[in-house]
Structure formats: structure tokens, C-alpha cells
Structure 1
Amino acid sequence: MNDPTMPAQPGTPYGEFLAEQEEIQRLKWLASESEGHDIGFESALNDWAQNHRAKWRNMRNQMMKQAQV
């Protein structure tokens, strides 16, 4: 049985969701600081999906494969 007090494990669907959400929040913070105002989550999510997700996903998959070796 899963312990709800334990953080989600990398490689699990929920763990990967949380990792991606953290990256979107990081992008949102950096872009908001750069623009001088809160750009909003939806704007950050769109930017992330269009410009960063594929590269991040490839990097993340490589890290997961290396961790299994």
C-alpha cells in the first residue's frame, strides 16, 4: 500500500507529473521576474509545452535509464 506521507517516486506517472509541474512553476517564476509581473500559470504552461517540454522529457528519460543501470 502507498504511504500518502511519502513523496511520489520518480518514474511513476504521478512522480513525473509533479516533476514536470515543478519545471513549469520554475519557468513561470523566471519569466515573471524577467517581465516584471506575474505571467500566469497558463502562459507558462503554453510556453513550456511549445518550447521546453520535449527537450526536458528526453533529458529526463535518459536520466531514468542511467539510474536503472
Structure 2
Amino acid sequence: MPSPRVDALLKDKKVSRYQEFLLEREELMRHKWIMSESHGRDVGFEVALTDWVQHHRHQWRSERNAKLSAD
């Protein structure tokens, strides 16, 4: 679930590249936290990044773009 800050950015259809980076980074950090919790240790940024890009990034971007188009 996006934070209120993310929702506010998504409502603005003119999302800058930096804002887009911040949205993606926030989602990545959430993924890192979830992975670390499930492994019982800090998995590290690189491991979380690799996993997120390979398994979740495409779907996350598609859903985000669909939400932007629908608004």
C-alpha cells in the first residue's frame, strides 16, 4: 500500500523523473524490509534490488502506469 506521499505524487500526472525514482526507491526499500523479515536478517540492498527487479519491477511499473492513466 503506497504511503500518503506516494499517493499525492501519483495524483499529479506530471511526475518528474526524480519523483518516479523516489516512488520506485520507496517500493524497493519496502521489499528489502519484507525480505529481511522473512529471512530473519538484513538481506542487504543489492540482494533486495536484484530480487525486486527480477520478480516485481515490471508488474509494479505496469500497475503504476495503469493507475496514472486511469486518473
- Give the TM interval when normalised to the shorter protein: 0.7 to 0.9
Q: Report 1 or 2 for greater relative contact order, CA contacts < 8 Å, sequence distance ≥ 6.
A: 2
Q: Taking structure 1 as the reference length, what is the TM-score of the superposition?
A: 0.80
- Which of the numbers 15, 35, 39 marks the counterpart of 2:43? 39
1:14 shift after superposition: 0.7
Structure with bigger gyration radius = 1
Work out the number of aligned pairs and report it: 60
Aligned partner letter, 1:28: K
More helix by share: 2
**CA–CA distance in structure 2, aligned partners of residues 53 and 33 of structure 1:** 20
TM-score for the superposition, normalised by structure 2: 0.78
Taking every aligned residue pair, what percent have the same amino acid on both sides? Answer: 49
Point out where structure 2 has 5 or more consecutive residues left out of the alignment: 1-8
CA RMSD of aligned residues (A): 1.5
Once residues 37 and 14 of structure 1 are traced to their aligned partners in structure 2, the CA distance between those partners, rounded to angstroms, is 30
